[in-house]
Homo-oligomer: A and B are copies of this chain.
Amino acid sequence: MPLCKAWTRGDSIAELSARLARAQSKMRDNMIDALLLTTEANVRYFTGYHSPFWHSPTRPWFVVVPSTGRPVAVIPTIGADAFNRNGFVDVVTWPAPRPEDDGISDLVQVLTNITRPSGQIGAELGPEMVVRMPIQDFDQLRMTLTHHNLTIVDAGLLLQQMRVIKSTSEIAKVEVACQAMSAAHREIPATIHAGMTEIQACKAIKRLFLLHGADDTPYVICRSGPVSYSDIIGHPTERILTPGDMLVVDSGCQVDGYFCDYNRNYAVDQPEQRVAAAYAAVSKATDAALKAVRPGAAFRDIYAAMSDAMGVQAEGGVGRMGHSVGLQLTEWPSIHPSETTLLEEGMVLAIEPSIPVEDGNGAFVVTEEEVVVTSDGYRLLSERAPSVIPVVQGNATCKV
Contacts and interface: CB of A to CB of B under 8 A. Distances in A.
A242 interface: no
A328 B207 contact: no
Given A128-B57, A330-B56, A78 B319 contact: yes
Nearest to A259: B55
Nearest to A132: B130
A210 B203 contact: yes
Given A9-B237, A50-B235, A126-B136, A55 B317 contact: no
Contacts of A257: 235
A230 interface: yes
A369 interface: no
A4 interface: no
Given A133-B130, A134-B129, A234-B50, A317 B80 contact: yes
A217 interface: yes
Nearest to A137: B127
Contact of A52 (B10, B210, B252): B252
A128 B334 CA distance: 31
B154 A238 contact: no
Residue in A79, A128, A336 whose Cβ sees the most chain B Cβ within 10 Å: A128
Contacts of A362: 81
Interface string A26-62: 0000000000000000000000011111011111000
A128 to B, nearest CB: 5
B138 A135 contact: yes
A143 interface: no
A27 B220 CA distance: 37
Given A51-B233, A52-B235, A97-B336, 18 more contacts: A51-B235, A55-B252, A55-B329, A77-B317, A78-B318, A81-B362, A82-B234, A96-B319, A97-B127, A97-B319, A97-B320, A97-B334, A99-B127, A125-B136, A131-B131, A202-B215, A203-B215, A216-B218
Closest CB pairs A-B (n = 7): A53-B233, A56-B330, A81-B231, A82-B234, A50-B235, A99-B127, A55-B329
29 contacts: A9-B199, A49-B234, A52-B220, A52-B221, A55-B252, A57-B130, A58-B330, A58-B332, A76-B319, A78-B318, A80-B317, A81-B231, A81-B362, A82-B231, A82-B233, A85-B231, A97-B127, A98-B319, A123-B135, A125-B134, A126-B136, A127-B134, A129-B135, A130-B130, A134-B156, A203-B214, A203-B215, A210-B210, A215-B235
